[in-house]
């Protein structure tokens, strides 16, 4: 698959294996998810949808080095998908490379104006880096782009945003 060509959607039966794998990931069973992906012919295993599930499997197992390798491929082959950039940055963050995770997302966030999760993750990275005012700004943007109530509900229990819990946003 070239960097410029858009991947074709998966078809029957591969899409069913992919959906089954996704279900197993959501149920917390990465071994069964992997077994479903093994049923997909090799020629489709580098498809971005397959790689996304593979990334999720390794994330469940907290194998962040493997996640980073998969996400590196995704940002090269599926760079128009915000999820590729998010997965790359999350893997970096989990590998304690928070500044690089932040730098990666901040360079592409404006290409995805409807992606509230990207803004939310930037808030998390900023909070962990001690950039609290910027973290509040990203969190505010996430609320504006996403469903504010849901974003706020998530933020008040997210340990990555804990530095914000004791540092209220300054008034502008």
Cβ neighbours of 121 (radius 10 Å): 23
**Side-chain half-sphere CA neighbours of 13 within 13 A:** 8
3-state secondary structure of 142: helix
Tokens of 126: 């900023």
What predicted TM-score, i.e. pTM, was given to this entire model?
0.89
Measured distance CA(38)–CA(102) in Å, rounded: 34
What's the pLDDT tens digit per position in 82-91? 999 999 999 9
- pLDDT by residue, tens only, the chain of 172 residues: 444 456 778 888 999 999 999 999 999 999 999 999 999 999 999 999 999 999 999 999 999 999 999 999 999 999 999 999 999 999 999 999 999 999 999 999 999 999 999 999 999 999 999 999 999 999 999 999 999 999 999 999 999 999 998 866 664 4
Residues 51-64, buried b or exposed e (16+ Cβ, 10 A)? Answer: bbbbbbbbbbeebb
DSSP string, 85-135: HHHHHHHHHHTT-HHHHHHHHHHHGGG-TT-HHHHHHHHHHHHHHT-HHHH
| Angle, CA of 108, 112 and 117, to the nearest 5° | 95
Q: How would you classify residue 135: left for phi > 0, otherwise alpha for psi between -120 and 50, otherwise beta?
A: alpha
| Cis upstream peptide for 91 (omega within 30°) | no
């Amino acid at each position: 698959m070239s960097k410029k060509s858009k991947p074709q959607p998966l078809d029957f039966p591969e899409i069913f294996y992919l959906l089954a794998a996704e279900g197993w990931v959501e149920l917390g069973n990465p071994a069964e998810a992997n077994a479903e992906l093994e049923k997909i012919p090799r020629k489709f295993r580098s498809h971005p949808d397959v790689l996304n599930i593979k990334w999720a499997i390794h994330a469940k197992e907290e194998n962040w080095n493997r996640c980073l390798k998969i996400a590196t491929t995704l940002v090269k082959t599926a760079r128009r998908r915000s999820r590729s950039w998010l997965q790359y940055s999350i893997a970096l963050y989990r590998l304690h490379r928070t500044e690089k995770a932040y730098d990666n997302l901040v360079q592409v966030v404006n290409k995805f104006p409807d992606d509230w999760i990207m803004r939310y993750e930037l808030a998390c990275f900023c909070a962990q880096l001690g950039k609290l005012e910027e973290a509040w700004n990203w969190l505010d943007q996430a609320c504006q782009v996403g469903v504010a109530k849901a974003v706020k509900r998530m933020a008040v229990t997210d340990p990555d945003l804990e530095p914000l819990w004791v540092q209220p946003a300054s008034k502008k």
